[in-house]
């Protein structure tokens, strides 16, 4: 049905007449189909990052927990079994995995280079604290 015919038909039924008790015709608006809007794709779930890790010293699984203190810019990771701990400087963008990764890197550096990079990094942090 063309739009002109639909409009003419709609006008014919829009004139008000008193309803007849025997009339079965009721005014109907012109119904035309519209395209449905496509729904946006569902958001992908962000992968969850672990907050409990394996201890590199005692080897217990999921025994190291991380505490993030954003007010003092400090991340503290400690093992519940053997009691070892590590502190590192963090930012608002840092996560628990970053503190754990830095701890593992420090452990590997001490094992391979005797802690040369660790001492240099600590001296660098001391210089930053002075300013």
Reading the block at residue 104, the tokens are 């593992």
91 lies in a domain?
A: yes
The CATH code of the domain that includes 125 is 2.20.25.190
Q: How far apart are CA 68 and CA 62, in angstroms?
A: 17
22 lies in a domain?
A: no
As a whole number, mean pLDDT of residues 101-107 equals 91
pLDDT digits (tens, 9 = 90+) for 16-70: 666 666 655 555 555 666 777 888 888 988 888 788 999 988 888 889 999 999 9
Q: How far apart are CA 67 and CA 53, in angstroms?
A: 12
80 lies in a domain?
A: yes
75 lies in a domain?
A: yes
Q: How far apart are CA 8 and CA 129, in angstroms?
A: 83
Helices (H), the chain: 3-14, 96-113, 116-130
pLDDT digits (tens, 9 = 90+) for 107-124: 888 888 876 666 666 667
64 lies in a domain?
A: yes
What domain range is 111 assigned to? 52-130
Structural domains in the chain (count):
1
The answer to whether 69 and 84 have CB atoms below 8 angstroms apart is no
28 lies in a domain?
A: no
Q: How far apart are CA 27 and CA 40, in angstroms?
A: 37
42 lies in a domain?
A: no
């Amino acid at each position: 049905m063309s739009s002109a015919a639909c409009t003419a038909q709609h006008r014919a039924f829009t004139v008000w007449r008193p309803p007849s008790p025997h009339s079965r015709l009721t005014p109907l608006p012109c119904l035309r189909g519209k395209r449905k809007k496509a729904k946006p794709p569902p958001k992908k779930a962000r992968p969850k990052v672990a907050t409990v890790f394996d201890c590199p010293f005692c080897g217990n699984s999921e025994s190291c927990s991380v505490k993030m203190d954003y007010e003092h810019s400090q991340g503290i990771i400690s093992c519940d079994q053997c009691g070892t701990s590590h502190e590192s400087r963090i930012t608002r963008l840092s996560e628990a995995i970053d503190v754990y990764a830095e701890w593992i890197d420090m452990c590997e550096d001490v094992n391979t280079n005797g802690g040369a990079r660790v001492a240099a990094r600590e001296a660098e942090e001391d210089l930053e604290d002075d300013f």
